Structure 1
Amino acid sequence: MPPTVPNVLTGDRPTGPLHLGHYFGSLANRVRLQREGADLFVLIADYQVLTDRDVAERLTEYTEGLVADYLAAGIDPGRVTIFQHSAVPALNQLMLPFLALVSVAELSRNPTVKEEIAASRQAAVSGLMFTYPVHQAADILFCKADLVPVGKDQLPHQEITRTIARRFNERYGPVFPVPEALLSDTPVLLGLDGRRKMSKSRGNAVPLAAGPDETARLIRRARTDADRRITYEPETRPEVSNLVRIAALCQDRDPRAIAEEVGDGGAAALKKVVTESVNEFLRPIRARRSELGRDLPREVLKRGNERANAVADRTLAQVREAMGTVSP
């Protein structure tokens, strides 16, 4: 069982602005865990941007934008450690012994890796992408995380982390907890196309930093269907039901009640409700973001990187001692 006050590791790749899917899938969980007193580490996985692309474009801009989104969403840097992967060298040193604990066959069977490889449309797969779950294991285990908030699509990665922790402890002695996955109430939010997961790269998302007019424009483009009567039937009417669900999440209400209220109003009325719901929900987040100074995200990262390095160096020293690789 995890301790009363657990260590928690979560994070994002800096590939663009965070959106509603991130908020309901992970950010809301982070704010709740922070409120409950968890020792929360939030990783900006900048090295991992290279898993599915040749270069990491606009990396500084996206990294600082992530920090701004975190702060606007309610993450308190005085209680949470926000840090960059590239600023913590010990994370990459942990990868070497971890790679020795998993086989090529185990990595190649990972369904999440298979999906990411297919989505990348690359002619050849880099070793970085292939070993992505081991990178993630180092990110999780360096701070001895007990809980890892993830979406359902990340559970195979999480299982490899658990395997590595168990095998290290069996081979060298107890160093790492075996972390548990923590699914949010909304593990996957579909995008405005109603068919695929909300994603920055698919152009089907509503960014948290989007203004009211941009939000309205994006929602107007959302897909619906030919039936004027609005109902909440996710299996048979995914596009309409997803819009209903977005409004319901923003209003913290049952989606069926939202659908009943719109009734025969059709797609135009539904999109109006969704737009108003999203804009009202994002209003305080936008206000907090606009008040952030330009230098604050950099200061937050500097402090977070310093703490993460201290924790990672301590863990790496324990790993070396357990493995018998401490220099005389």
Structure 2
Amino acid sequence: MQHTVLTGDRPTGPLHLGHYFGSLANRVRLQDRFPMYVLVADYQVITDRDLPGEIQRNITELLLDYLAVGLDPAKVTIFQHSAVPELNQLMLPFLSLVTVSELSRNPTVKDEIAHSSQKAVSGLMFTYPVHQAADILFCKGTLVPVGKDQLPHLEVTRTIARRFNERYGRVFPVPEAMLGERPLLQGLDGGKMSKSRGNAIALSATEDETAALIRKARTDSERLITYDEENRPQVANLLMIASLCLGRPPAELAAEIGYGGAAALKRLTTDAVNDFLRPIRKRRNEHGEAEVREILAEGNRRARERAVVTLDEVRVAMGF
């Protein structure tokens, strides 16, 4: 089957190692196999915050990260929400295909609401899964790389596609999830790795910034370093970060450190991360803002062409 892949990110800050091993590396592999759309989800920034922040700067930085890790704009269509009005117009018929109770039961929405900085839940937050359905279905996406926490969102998309086809005739494929095989990396403070929590190693961080972050990482007081995810999660997380960067098993690295303690573990992790990110940082510096603007303008043009066709199909199917 010839898949079309849809993936993307919210431009809320720099991408980090968790993004790289969780999704970016996989996107680079997939771009040589399937047509791919990469969404810069600028409208979704305001789902859980009152203001979009430095949105233009964040979009530029996001595209620089994409280019640095190896996404090729000749192979993938990189575009932004706000530049494709036809995509967003799909939300109207899609909202008619789901019930309020179905949206309120969505566990991912509940979690997003719990961590939102807003005092009240906005309508955009509540309908977030429907907006994602428009993101996926406007380009007839069939394969969506997601983490397990995003599966409920994708199930809403699958439901909308099936119900539209049953009610109006077949227009949309029913997309499939592509679960990442990489483990979920924790932040350096032991919590969820997040751009907003300051506990992540940004792909754009300098070597000195990376070393400072890892020095502050939480570990424990035991001198013997062992890989034990259940009983020593913070030590295990540093070992996993080093393991992914070096391409070696974490238990092997732990045995190599032995009784070197947390200091030796942090030195090894720092060297592993900086060595791994050095070529990515070098490629990032080879691109400029003017190039980013050109790439985004071309991607927006291609995405809008696709969205216009899909919206016309929807109007015809619905009898408008």
Q: TM-score, normalised by structure 2?
A: 0.98
Correspondent of 1:100 among 65, 75, 96: 96
SS of residue in 2 equivalent to 1:295 = helix
Quick one: which amino acid aligns to residue 280 of structure 1?
D
Partner of 1:207: 202
Q: Deviation per CA, 1:64-117, whole angstroms, max 9, x where unpaired?
A: 110000000000000100000000001111000100111111111111110110
| Mapped contact 1:150–1:187 kept (Cα < 8 A) | no
Give the C-alpha shift of residue 211 in structure 1: 0.7
| Mapped contact 2:60–2:289 kept (Cα < 8 A) | no
1: CA distance, partners of 2:118 / 2:287: 39
Q: Deviation per CA, 1:7-41, whole angstroms, max 9, x where unpaired?
A: 00000000000000000001011001012x21010
SS of residue in 2 equivalent to 1:177 = coil
Root-mean-square deviation over aligned CA pairs: 0.9
Partner of 2:37: 41
1: CA distance, partners of 2:164 / 2:250: 46
1: CA distance, partners of 2:107 / 2:198: 24
Partner of 1:285: 280
Answering whether residue 250 of structure 2 is matched by residue 255 of structure 1, we say yes
Answering whether residue 22 of structure 2 is matched by residue 28 of structure 1, we say no
Answering whether residue 201 of structure 2 is matched by residue 172 of structure 1, we say no
Give the C-alpha shift of residue 187 in structure 1: 5.2
SS of residue in 2 equivalent to 1:42 = strand
Partner of 2:311: 316
Quick one: which amino acid aligns to residue 258 of structure 1?
L
Q: TM-score, normalised by structure 1?
A: 0.96
SS of residue in 1 equivalent to 2:31 = helix
2: CA distance, partners of 1:87 / 1:297: 15
2: CA distance, partners of 1:38 / 1:118: 36
Partner of 1:17: 14
Quick one: which amino acid aligns to residue 235 of structure 1?
E
| Mapped contact 2:140–2:172 kept (Cα < 8 A) | yes
**Structure 1 residues 100 and 33: CA distance shift in structure 2, 3 A:** same
Q: Deviation per CA, 1:153-206, whole angstroms, max 9, x where unpaired?
A: 111101111111111111111111111111111252211122x22110111100
1: CA distance, partners of 2:206 / 2:134: 37
Correspondent of 1:84 among 56, 80, 84: 80
| Mapped contact 2:50–2:118 kept (Cα < 8 A) | no
Quick one: which amino acid aligns to residue 212 of structure 2?
R
Partner of 1:159: 155
**Structure 1 residues 132 and 176: CA distance shift in structure 2, 3 A:** same
Answering whether residue 124 of structure 2 is matched by residue 128 of structure 1, we say yes
| Mapped contact 1:151–1:187 kept (Cα < 8 A) | no
Structure 1: tracts of 5 or more residues without a match? none
SS of residue in 1 equivalent to 2:285 = helix
Quick one: which amino acid aligns to residue 14 of structure 1?
P
| Mapped contact 1:152–1:187 kept (Cα < 8 A) | no
Map 1:103-122 to 2 at 5 A: 103-122=99-118
Q: Deviation per CA, 1:278-303, whole angstroms, max 9, x where unpaired?
A: 00110110000011122111111000
| Mapped contact 2:225–2:255 kept (Cα < 8 A) | yes
Number of equivalences = 320
Correspondent of 1:185 among 181, 202, 215: 181
2: CA distance, partners of 1:298 / 1:312: 21
| Mapped contact 1:230–1:265 kept (Cα < 8 A) | yes
2: CA distance, partners of 1:294 / 1:63: 10
Give the C-alpha shift of residue 313 in structure 1: 0.5
Give the C-alpha shift of residue 121 in structure 1: 4.5
2: CA distance, partners of 1:122 / 1:54: 7
Q: Deviation per CA, 1:215-259, whole angstroms, max 9, x where unpaired?
A: 000000100011111111111111000000000000111111111
2: CA distance, partners of 1:139 / 1:215: 34
SS of residue in 1 equivalent to 2:231 = coil
Determine what percentage of the aligned residue pairs are the same residue: 68
| Mapped contact 2:39–2:79 kept (Cα < 8 A) | yes
Partner of 1:307: 302
1: CA distance, partners of 2:38 / 2:314: 22
